[in-house]
Amino acid sequence: MTEKLIWDVTVRAEGGPQLTGSGVLEVDAYDKLSVVVPAGGDLEVNLGPGAAGLIACLVILPDEPSADLSYDVGSQTIGLDEPQVLLGGAVDLTGNPASLTFANAGTADANLQILIGRDATP
């Protein structure tokens, strides 16, 4: 059975133009995770069962975005100073991994909400 993830996005410049979009992304399965990245530490998060390369939706929403939060993608570190929404081919920017390791250089634990939509039948 196909699951449907409904997305909406609006970005507007104050006093200027705006871009809006919405759609439905069909996936075989989804997971919503709530994790805590310890202060001054790392946390590896499995993004679901199965092999890498199956993710079609990856949303990472820190409760409090911070320059102290990040995760590694290959040889590049991606900051979590803002929420991240990756849909479709944009997930490939992360290498479409089976897991991500988050780092917290701050002095307080960091709460992350993660939504993953994936293909269960490659």
* Average pLDDT score over the chain: 93
Q: Where are the domains of the chain?
A: 28-118
Superfamily the domain 28-118 falls into: Jelly Rolls (2.60.120.10)
> Which pLDDT score is estimated for 4?
96
pLDDT at 109 > cutoff 90: yes
Q: Structure pTM?
A: 0.91
pLDDT digits (tens, 9 = 90+) for 20-78: 999 999 999 999 999 999 999 999 999 887 666 889 999 999 999 999 999 998 788 99
Structure tokens at 41: 């530490």
**Could you give phi then psi for residue 106, rounded to 5 degrees?**
-80, 180
pLDDT at 116 > cutoff 70: yes
Q: State the Cα–Cα distance between residues 66 and 115, nearest whole angstrom.
A: 19
Query: How many residues in the chain?
Result: 122
